[in-house]
Structure 1
């Protein structure tokens, strides 16, 4: 009996000491999103956005977007899926600069994915990757 135990233990130790893949590379399915706003209006804008509560209740963030330019306003990432605008943003407000309460031009309280255009996609073989979204604001958006 002692002999069988010794043989079994030896086999277990031998199998446990065989070479294993220790390259340290772990592949997790994750997606990322880059959000830019294109300002086609004649006004310089300050964009203030409230992030979704799933993003650790970060404070409101803002970016200045000069007239006739495009600016990346935020980057997001998530494990298990590709983020999309309605996941990332709770609310977006557009102010004429300098930002003051009476300079509020537009409030988007419900962010719709349909209002954003996918302008680029860098997919990995897993189907996850970087998706670049663009929101275009025009002079008519404020009317």
Structure 2
């Protein structure tokens, strides 16, 4: 069942099994606030088991672009299009959030972003490949993030 992410009253609904559930909920709410403020888009997620097409698409890009296979279990996912950009998010039990920004236009920007919830370690599959910048968030505390540019077509 889809869940509308509330960035005013942050909830751990759907993320309870994560050891950093509060921080992950804040990270998810931070994304919801961004899309509401920038695009007037309501950020809705569903259990990863109900969004296997989204999870599979994100995992395919990770595998084919950088030979990355996330070790953590996906908890929730979402996909939507705003302003000519296809967006996909997967939130993992470890506290990791992976998003794909994929411009529909051939000449547009395409990238994969990684965000780490406060309190989690950098996943082994990412640790030696990426440096993470820090960003403060009122909803999520300190978020660490990194990204790479997608070269292929998906």
TM-score (norm 2): 0.26
Q: Which has the higher helix share?
A: 2
The higher-RCO structure (CA 8 Å, 6+ apart) is 1
